[in-house]
Amino acid sequence: MLEADLVILLSDIPCLYDRDPRLDSRAMPIREVAKIDDQVKQMAGRAGSGVGTGGMVSKIEAAQIAVEAGIPLVIALGADPTIVPRLIAGEPLGTLFHPTKKVDRRRHWIGFLSKVQGVVLVDAGAVRALRERPASLLPIGVTGVIGHFAAGDGVEIRGPDNEAIGRGLVGYDDKTLASIVGLRSDAVAERLGRSVIDPVIHRNDLVLAT
């Protein structure tokens, strides 16, 4: 949100390793990560530190938020009092996570930073529409509502197999949405007594899961 040029995340180990260096002396340092994929997440292993924000898993999650906002992140050894000025000077220390293509700040907030208040369940047709074209989510594609939320809150969208489809800012509170599940726009207008019907989630307020 600050549009930082760089994030430095200080840890109790000097960098990301290909395996846990506490358990295996053959562990090799990873100096640069171009993309955070399943292999990188497996290298992080399980949380093993009682210091700071937790283990390497949580640091990888933080790195993913930063790089997908177009911001590079470095994991480095916090016990070294000279580490920050040396990093800023360009010294290749720790592990550098390269940024990916910068996304719209609003969509980044919706996808990563907005607090999810509930779940909107959708049918297979809605899943196809959301994935294959830039469509808004309409009441006719909704099959159910989980949790309590107000209009404008962040919600998760799940398909018929309970797969997470994405996140978005919902246009209705949970009770209103539950009352119009599966209805066509004309039926929604009649039930709510409105001439103009808002989508459940507008396409500009929606971020699909990758």
Neighbours of 112 (CB within 10 A): 16
Please name the CATH architecture into which domain 7-102 falls.
3-Layer(aba) Sandwich (3.40)
Buried b (16+ CB within 10 A) or exposed e, 128-145: ebbeeeebbbbbbbbeeb
For residue 25, what pLDDT is reported?
85
Label the pairing between strands 95-97 and 16-17: unpaired
For residue 50, what pLDDT is reported?
44
Strand order across the beta sheet in which 164-169 lies: 142-147, 116-122, 154-158, 164-169, 206-208
Query: Any idea what DSSP says for residue 25?
Result: T
The single-letter code of the amino acid at 92 is: P
The stretches in the chain having pLDDT less than 70 are 1, 46-54, 101-103, 113-114
Q: Are 87 and 8 in contact (CB under 8 A)?
A: yes
For residue 192, what pLDDT is reported?
94
Which tens digits make up the pLDDT trace of 165-198? Answer: 999 999 999 999 999 999 999 999 999 998 888 9
**Extents of the domains making up the chain:** 7-102, 107-208
For residue 51, what pLDDT is reported?
42
CATH of 107-208, one of 3.40.640.10, 3.40.50.1000, 3.40.50.300, 2.30.130.10: 2.30.130.10
Is the whole-model pTM more than 0.75? Answer: no
Question: What gap in Å lies between CA 72 and CA 65, rounded to an integer?
Answer: 10
Name the helix (H) or strand (E) containing 186: helix 185-192
Question: What gap in Å lies between CA 148 and CA 119, rounded to an integer?
Answer: 9
